[in-house]
Chains A and B, each alone.
Chain A
Amino acid sequence: MAKGRRRRAWNLLAAALPRLGALVTVGLLAFVAGYVLWRGLPGLSWALLTQEESVLHGQVGIAPCILNTVYVIAVSLAAALPLGVGAAVYLTEYAPRRRLAAAVEFAAETLSGLPSILYAMVGSILFCTVLGLQKSLLAGSLTLAIMTLPTVIRATQESLKTVPRSYREGALGLGAGKWRTVRTVVLPSSVRGIAAGCILAAGRVVGESAVLLYTAGLSTAMQDFSSLSGLVKASGSTLTVALYVYAKERSDFTTAFAVATVLLFLTVLLNLTAGAVGRRR
Chain B
Amino acid sequence: MGVLLAACALAAVVFLLLIALYLILAGLPAIRKAGLGEFLLGTVWDSTNAEAPRFGILPMLLTSLWGAAGAVVLGVPVGFFTAVYLAKAAPRPLARVLRPAVSLLAGIPSVVYGLVGMCALVPALRAALDLPAGDSLLAAVIVLAVMILPSVIDLTTTALEAVPREYEEGSLALGATEAETWLRVSAPAARSGIAAAVVLGVGRALGEAMAILMVAGNVPNMPGLLRSVRFLTTGIAIEMNYASPGSLQRQALFSIGLVLFVFILLVNLLLNRTLKGRKGA
**CB proximity of A61 to chain B, nearest CB, Å:** 19
Contact residues in B for A96 (Cβ distance below 8 Å):
6, 9
Given known A15-B179, A121-B240, contact A206–B5 (CB-CB < 8 A): no
Q: Which of B53-61, B101-109, B161-169, B220-228 contacts A (4 or more CB under 8 A)?
A: B101-109
B9–A35 touching, CB < 8 Å: no
Given known A22-B98, A121-B254, contact A149–B209 (CB-CB < 8 A): no
Q: Is B150 located at the chain interface by the 8 A CB criterion?
A: yes
**CB proximity of A179 to chain B, nearest CB, Å:** 4
Given known A22-B81, A118-B257, A125-B22, contact A149–B15 (CB-CB < 8 A): yes
A32–B146 touching, CB < 8 Å: yes
Contact residues in B for A271 (Cβ distance below 8 Å):
103-104, 107
Given known A94-B6, A115-B233, A118-B23, contact A29–B13 (CB-CB < 8 A): no
**CB proximity of B258 to chain A, nearest CB, Å:** 9
CB-nearest residue of chain A relative to B10?
A104
**CB proximity of A24 to chain B, nearest CB, Å:** 5
Q: Which of A48-56, A163-171, A222-230, A252-260 contacts B (4 or more CB under 8 A)?
A: A252-260
Q: Is A150 located at the chain interface by the 8 A CB criterion?
A: yes
B19–A114 touching, CB < 8 Å: yes
Contact residues in B for A213 (Cβ distance below 8 Å):
210, 237
Q: Is B151 located at the chain interface by the 8 A CB criterion?
A: no
Q: Would you list which residues of chain A between 132 and 173 have a CB under 8 Å from chain B?
A: 146, 149-150, 153
Given known A32-B113, A32-B116, A94-B6, contact A107–B209 (CB-CB < 8 A): no
Given known A14-B180, A18-B82, A25-B78, contact A264–B112 (CB-CB < 8 A): yes
Contact residue among B4, B110, B182, B213 (Cβ-Cβ distance under 8 Å from A86): B4
B2–A21 touching, CB < 8 Å: no
Q: Is A64 located at the chain interface by the 8 A CB criterion?
A: no
B85–A207 touching, CB < 8 Å: no
A86–B9 touching, CB < 8 Å: yes
Report the contact-size class of chain A (Cβ under 8 Å from the partner): 35 or more
Cβ contacts A37-58/B at 8 Å (1 or 0 each): 0010000000000000000000
Q: Is A74 located at the chain interface by the 8 A CB criterion?
A: no
**Count: A-B pairs, CB below 8 Å:** 242
A19–B89 touching, CB < 8 Å: yes
Q: Is A82 located at the chain interface by the 8 A CB criterion?
A: yes
Contact residue among A19, A107, A120 (Cβ-Cβ distance under 8 Å from B12): A107
Q: Is A20 located at the chain interface by the 8 A CB criterion?
A: yes
Q: Could you tell me which B residues sit within 8 Å of A by CB distance?
A: 1-2, 4-13, 15-16, 18-19, 22-23, 26, 77-86, 88-90, 98, 100-105, 107-116, 118-120, 146, 149-150, 153, 177-180, 182-183, 203, 206-210, 213-214, 233, 236-237, 240-241, 245, 253-254, 257, 260-261, 264-265, 268
The 10 A-B pairs at the shortest CB distance, nearest first, are namely A86-B8, A21-B81, A115-B207, A18-B85, A207-B109, A14-B179, A90-B5, A87-B9, A22-B85, A21-B82
Q: A18-B82, A244-B213 are in contact. List 19 more A-B contacts (CB 8 A).
A: A14-B179, A19-B85, A22-B81, A22-B82, A83-B8, A114-B264, A115-B233, A116-B207, A120-B240, A121-B23, A129-B245, A208-B109, A209-B110, A210-B237, A248-B118, A253-B119, A256-B115, A263-B108, A270-B107
